[in-house]
Amino acid sequence: MSNQKLVQRETEIEDQNNRLHHPYAFHVSGPRKVSVPNWRDLINSNGNYKRTVIACFIQAVYLLELDRQEKRTEENALAPKWFIPFKYKLSRTLIDERDGSIYGAILEWDRSAALSDFILIRPSGAPRAVLALRGTLLKGPTLRRDIEDDLRFLAWESLKGSVRFNGALEALKSLADAYGSHNVAVAGHSLGAGFALQIGKALAKNGLFIETHLFNPPSVSLAMSLKNVGEKAVVVWQKVKSMLPSNAVTATDTDTNTGVASNNVVAFNKWVPHLYVNNSDYICCYYTDPAGGGESGGAASEKENVRPLSAANGQVAAKLFVLSKGKQKFMEAHGLEQWWSDDLELELALQNSKLISKQLKSLYSLPPTSATNRR
């Protein structure tokens, strides 16, 4: 064997070993109890299997961007292992035109792969397509745009001014048009959960009720909580807020297509997002606080997302799954990996916490003024 071929062979072996032992490889850090996944498990799993799979889909989006940054090829890419075993295929990536980064992906049921495993029909609990959105990735090529959107949410409690919001919204609308809203799901982690919540809400206002899964969603009260740190923090906060464009969010919730205010009590009754929250994660823990982070009364009652007192009518606003393991480090509590953990024990709360109500206020203020088309 020539020296050139020998070097090439050694390089291939090294690449293979790196891939096999990479900390983000599916067999290294992925779920352990779904090595032979079957969507029929949904029938007996009370949603645990679906939560695990969808969390893996979001991890795949993180890895699609890392694969791109680190120039991995189709042969050594890490991302596919996080969705192919579940009989899904990559249909499309969502790309931020400003920096070329991948912030989302559409994964569709792979009928051919399912048939090869003797799964003749798609189980009723398995979405036809899933739009998965990643959160902040602390890597140079995408860090700037991720942080911009983080600050946008902190300052304005909205992501509507972001390029990624528009891209994700159009992608989700296209999926609902193609397959029907009941066959589609949207999911996100951290910043991605913020996008998923707001585009899910936007479509619900127009009569499209998309299954929504939010892992460690950012609390709208996080920004307000900074005011309790002290006067210096307030000054810094005002400076950060002044750096962002004032038109990032409008004064009232408006219809995405028409610009007309749309309040829909029907949407509140039919759209129930799933929130997965860790009590030790200060980014999302306010969702478990009945007081909504301590903000009440006064000027808060005039803000966009505050719910009228008579709005709930005993209805369920969201399914809130709470994980509490005692005191944890932030990175562990905010991490995505915990949501496919084998020993995960969650407490389910069907509730209208003040913070959830703030987020969903525009869905249940007034009855719709005109009929909407539902799919």
Is residue 186 domain-resident?
yes
pTM for this prediction: 0.75
- Residue 293's pLDDT band (boundaries 50, 70, 90)? very low
Residues in the chain: 375
- What is the average pLDDT across 171-176? 96
pLDDT > 90: percent of the chain: 34
Is residue 370 domain-resident?
no
The range of the structural domain enclosing residue 359 comes to 34-225+271-288+317-364
Encode pLDDT of 192-238 as tens digits.
999 999 999 999 988 899 999 999 998 754 444 444 444 444 454 45
Report the pLDDT value the prediction gives residue 311, as an integer from 0 to 100. Answer: 38
Is residue 232 domain-resident?
no
Is residue 310 domain-resident?
no
Overall domain count for the chain: 1
- Determine the Cα–Cα distance for residues 223 and 207; give it in Å rounded to an integer: 31
Torsion of CA 340, 343, 349, 353, to 10 degrees: -70
Is residue 256 domain-resident?
no
- Residue 316's pLDDT band (boundaries 50, 70, 90)? low
Residue 188: closest CA among 161, 159, 208: 159
Is residue 262 domain-resident?
no
Question: Checking DSSP bridges between strand 129-133 and strand 274-278, what pairing results, if any?
Answer: unpaired
pLDDT at 38 over 70: no
Question: Is residue 368 within 8 Å of residue 266, measured between CB atoms?
Answer: yes
- Determine the Cα–Cα distance for residues 199 and 260; give it in Å rounded to an integer: 16
- Residue 242's pLDDT band (boundaries 50, 70, 90)? low
Extract the runs of DSSP E, i.e. beta strands, from the chain.
88-95, 102-109, 129-133, 184-189, 211-215, 274-278, 318-323, 347-351
- What is the average pLDDT across 345-349? 78
Q: What is the CATH number of the domain that holds 88?
A: 3.40.50
Tell me how far the alpha carbon of residue 96 is from its chain's centroid. 17
- Determine the Cα–Cα distance for residues 32 and 358; give it in Å rounded to an integer: 37
Residue 141: closest CA among 168, 188, 102, 92: 102
pLDDT at 82 over 70: yes
pLDDT at 149 over 80: yes
Identity of the residue numbered 70: E
Is residue 40 domain-resident?
yes
Is residue 258 domain-resident?
no
Identity of the residue numbered 203: L
